[in-house]
Structure 1
Amino acid sequence: MHRRFEAVAPNVLRVGDMTEIETGEGKRYLATVLDLFSRRLLGCAMGAHHDAGLVGASLQMAAATRGARSTARSFTATGEDAPGCRRCGCP
């Protein structure tokens, strides 16, 4: 991506984040995936652990929201392609 965060159409670029939330039951983690063009929440998952399973669940929800044949690409925080998404079963 080279730090270019402008999507020209929906379903082209996605961004994700992991947030720690303090609750009365302890820490919880929220993983989210947004469509960069529409800013629509495509997928989210909450759990007790900050791990690949939580990220995979949010990516799978995003794939279900936009369809399994989504043309969007996923990137790491450094802007590289995220091949780990494929290992989680996400398109």
Structure 2
Amino acid sequence: MCVYLLRGIAFSKDDSIPKTGKAAIENKLLAEAVLESIIGKKGVSPGARLSLAERLSQLMKENKVEKDATKTDNQDEANDVSLGDKLAKEN
């Protein structure tokens, strides 16, 4: 079982999701290389790639529902620049 956390990948022997990580990779390039070696196109863990894809898909669906709830029906209002942008242009 592989779970993508905000800052990395965590592994467990069952379907549980680890609450905390044991280590963090601070170097962005190294972290990307490690992720690529695990879940990349030629990665060593197709199961991890599938697990990550399923979880990210679910997160994106949940996020889309939240974003849709904040949309306006007024298209002119939706296309209008923000109040902050208007004030910046005026000043």
Q: Do they superpose with TM above 0.5?
A: no
Higher strand share: 1
The one of the two structures with greater contact order (alpha-carbon pairs below 8 A, sep at least 6) is 1
